[in-house]
Amino acid sequence: MLVAGRPEGKLLSSQMKEALRYGALSLAVIVGLTLAIVPFAHSLIEQWSRHDVEQRSRLVYNSIQGSVVRAMADDAWERLGSIFEGVAQDDRILAVGLCDEKGGLIEPTRLMPRTFSCEKVARSEAESFSNISSDGRRVLVGAFPIVDRAHKAYLIVLHDLSFIDARSGEAQTFFVAALAGVALTIMGVSAVFAAFLLRGWMGALRLAVEEARFGGPALSSRRERSALDKEIVKLLREAEVGRVPIETGQIEWSPATLQNLLREALPGAEVLIVSNREPYIHNRSDGGVVVQTPASGLVSALEPVIRACGGTWIAHGSGDADRETVDERDRIAVPPEAPAYSLRRIWISEEEQDGYYYGLANEGLWPLCHIAFVRPVFREADWRAYEKINERFAEAVAREAQTDDPIVLVQDYHFALAPRMIRERLPKATIIAFWHIPWPNAETFGICPWKERIIEGLLGCTILGFHTRFHCNNFFETVDRFVESRIDREHGTVTLGGHETFVRAYPISIDWPPKALAAQPSVEECRLQTRRSLGLASDVMLAVGIERFDYTKGILDRMKAVDLLLTLDPSLKGRFVFVQAAAPTRSRLPTYSRLQSEAQELAREINARHGDESYRPIRLVIRHHEPAEVFGLFRAADLCIVSSLHDGMNLVAKEFVASRDDEQGVLVLSSFTGASREMAEALIVNPYNIQEMAEAIGMALRIPANEQRERMRLMRQRVRERNVYRWAGQMLIDAARSRQQRRILDIAEKNQRR
Residue nearest to ligand F6P (CB): 298
Residue among 402, 416, 393 nearest 317 (CA): 393
Closer residue to ligand F6P (CB): 108 or 367: 367
CB of 534 to ligand F6P, least distance (A): 26
For residue 431, give every residue at least 6 positions away whose Cβ sits within 8 Å of its Cβ, in sequence order, or none: 408, 410, 419, 422, 423, 460, 461, 462, 463
316 counts as binding ligand F6P under rule CB under 6 A: no
Identify residue 56 by its one-letter amino acid code.
R
Cβ-based nearer residue to ligand F6P, 215 or 584: 584
Instruction: Please work out, in degrees rounded to the nearest 5, the angle formed at the alpha carbon of residue 517 by the alpha carbons of 514 and 518.
Output: 105
Q: Which of residues 535-564 bind ligand F6P (CB under 6 A)?
A: 548
Site for ligand F6P in 283-312 (CB under 6 A): 296-298
Residue 323 CB contacts under 8 Å (≥ 6 apart), including other chains? 317, 345, 347
Determine if 471 is a binding residue for ligand F6P (CB under 6 A): no
Cα separation, 53 vs 695, whole angstroms: 124
In the complex, least distance from residue 297 CB atom to ligand F6P, rounded to whole angstroms: 4
CB of 648 to ligand F6P, least distance (A): 6
> What's the closest the beta carbon of residue 651 comes to ligand F6P, in angstroms?
8
CB contact at 8 A, 627 and 516 = yes
Instruction: Rank residues 154 and 280 by Cβ distance to ligand F6P and give the closer one.
Output: 280
DSSP state of 225: P
Closer to ligand F6P by Cβ: residue 436 or 504: 436
Give the H/E segment covering residue 156. Answer: strand 152-160
Minimum gap (Å) between residue 647 Cβ and ligand F6P: 7
Helix axes 162-214, 724-753, angle to 10 degrees: 130
Q: No. of H helices and E strands in the chain? A: 23, 23
> 277 vs 625, which CB is nearer to ligand F6P?
277
Start-to-end Cα distance in the chain:
31
| 437 touches ligand F6P by CB under 6 A | yes
Task: State the nearest-atom distance from the C-beta of 561 to ligand F6P, in Å.
Answer: 23
Which DSSP category does 663 fall into?
A: -
Choice between 211 and 278, CB closer to ligand F6P? 278
Contact 383, 407 (CB under 8 A): no
User: What is the 3-class SS of 490-552, one letter each residue?
Assistant: CCCEEEECCEEEEEEECCCCCCCCCHHHCCCCCHHHHHHHHHHHHCCCCCCEEEEEEEECCHH
C-alpha to C-alpha distance for 355 and 735, rounded to whole angstroms: 33
536 backbone dihedrals φ, ψ, rounded to 5°: -110, 155
The size of the chain, in residues, is 754
Q: Is 277 in the site for ligand F6P (CB under 6 A)?
A: yes
What is the x/- site pattern for ligand F6P, positions 396-425, by CB under 6 A?
----------------x-------------
State the minimum distance, in angstroms, from the CB of residue 645 to ligand F6P: 13
Nearer to ligand F6P, 212 or 281 (CB): 281
d(CA 596, CA 136): 122
Report the alpha-carbon distance of residue 748 to residue 468 in Å, rounded. Answer: 35
User: From the CB of 699, what's the least distance to ligand F6P, in Å?
Assistant: 29
**Is the CB of 72 or the CB of 315 nearer to ligand F6P?**
315
Q: Which of residues 562-621 bind ligand F6P (CB under 6 A)?
A: 585-586
**Nearer of residues 350 and 484 to ligand F6P, judged by Cβ:** 350
Beta carbon nearer to ligand F6P, 279 or 648: 648
Nearest Cα neighbor of 530 from 633, 643, 384 is 633
- Assess contact for 84 and 107: CB atoms under 8 A: yes
Q: Coil, helix or strand for 339?
A: coil
The dihedrals phi and psi of 212, each to the nearest 5 degrees, come to -65, -30
Smallest separation, CB 533 to ligand F6P (Å): 26
Question: Shortest gap between Cβ of 673 and ligand F6P (angstroms)?
Answer: 11
Smallest separation (angstroms) from ligand F6P to the CB of 722:
18
Residue (of 407, 415, 296) closest to 365 by Cα position? 415
Least Å distance between CB 585 and ligand F6P? Answer: 5
Q: Nearest approach, Cβ of 341 to ligand F6P (angstroms)?
A: 19
Q: At its nearest, how many Å lie between ligand F6P and the CB of residue 358?
A: 9
Are the CB atoms for 369 and 399 separated by under 8 Å?
A: no
Touching ligand F6P, residues 155-194 (CB under 6 A): none
Pick 97 or 674: Cβ nearer ligand F6P: 674
Q: Which one-letter DSSP state was computed for residue 647?
A: B
Write down the least CB distance from residue 548 to ligand F6P, Å.
6
- CB closer to ligand F6P out of 296 and 740: 296
| Cα 169 to Cα 180: distance, rounded to the nearest angstrom | 16
Task: State the Cα–Cα distance between residues 490 and 212, nearest whole angstrom.
Answer: 11
Pairing of strands 618-622, 639-642: unpaired
Closest distance to ligand F6P from the beta carbon of 274 (Å): 13
Which residue's CB is nearer to ligand F6P, number 57 or number 296? 296
Q: How far is CA 159 from CA 38, 92, 126, 139, 273, in A?
A: 25, 6, 19, 6, 96
Give the Cα separation of 178 and 358 in Å (integer): 85
Q: Which is nearer to ligand F6P, 369 or 703 (CB)?
A: 369
**Among residues 137 and 677, whose Cβ is nearest to ligand F6P?**
677
Tell me, by CB under 6 A, how many residues bind ligand F6P. 12
129-158 residues near ligand F6P, rule: CB under 6 A: none
Which listed residue (213, 225, 436, 660) binds ligand F6P by CB under 6 A?
A: 436
Interacting residues of 111 by C-beta distance below 8 A, sequence separation 6+: 88, 94, 95
Instruction: Identify which of residues 121 and 516 has a Cβ nearer to ligand F6P in the complex.
Output: 516
Q: Using CB under 6 A as the criterion, which residues of the chain lie in contact with ligand F6P when the complex forms?
A: 276-277, 296-298, 412, 436-437, 548, 585-586, 648
